[in-house]
Amino acid sequence: MKKVIHNIAAVLLAFVVLFSTMSFTVNMHYCGNTLMNVALYKEAKSCSMEMQQMQPPSDFHVMKKSCCTDKQLNFEGQDELKTSFDKLTFDQQTFITTFFYSYVNLFEGLEENVIPFKEYPPPLLVKDIQVLYETFLI
C-alpha cells in the first residue's frame, strides 16, 4: 500500500512539473459579447460575420467598425528549474543533508523485538470483580 501511494505521488509531482513549465496560447473569437470560438495553439476560426467592404462608386469611403473581436491569452511557463544539487547554497545543502540523515534514522528499527515483561506471568484472577459487583463501563 505504501509503495502504491509513493508511485501515485511521484506521478502527480511529475505532472506538476510538466504543467508548470508548459506554455500555451488561448485564442478567442467574439461576435459582439458572445463567445463564438476558442482555440488552443492556433488561430480561432472567424464566424464569417465580419463586415464586407463594399467598393463604392465614388472616392468617398465610410468604414464601419466590425462587431467581431479577437482576444489572445498567453500563458508563459517557468523557464528555469533547479535540477542540480551543486547550484544550492551551502546553508541549503547543510539543511537538506541534516534533514535526510534525521529522516533515515527516524525509521531505523531494533535488531529484535524486545518485550520487557516477557519473564513475568500475569496476576492470577481470583474473582471477576466487575461481574461480582455488576459495574460495567458503557
**Per-residue pLDDT tens digits of the chain, which is 138 residues long:** 888 999 999 999 999 988 888 888 889 888 888 888 888 877 777 776 654 444 455 555 556 667 888 888 888 887 776 666 667 888 988 999 999 988 887 777 767 787 888 888 888 878 888 888 888 887
Quick one: CA dihedral 56, 62, 68, 73, positive or negative?
positive
The candidate with the shortest Cα–Cα distance to 31, out of 19, 45, 14, is 45
pLDDT score recorded for residue 40: 82
pLDDT score recorded for residue 83: 65
Domain segments of the chain as ranges: 2-52+62-82
pLDDT score recorded for residue 58: 55
Find cell 529522516 and name the residue.
103
Order the strands of the 24-31 sheet from edge to edge: 34-40, 24-31, 68-75
pLDDT score recorded for residue 9: 94
Instruction: For Cα atoms 105, 106, 112, give the angle at the middle one, nearest 5 degrees.
Output: 85
CB of 73 within 8 A of CB of 29?
A: no
Instruction: For Cα atoms 40, 45, 47, give the angle at the middle one, nearest 5 degrees.
Output: 140
Length of the chain: 138
Q: How far apart are CA 68 and CA 65, in angstroms?
A: 9
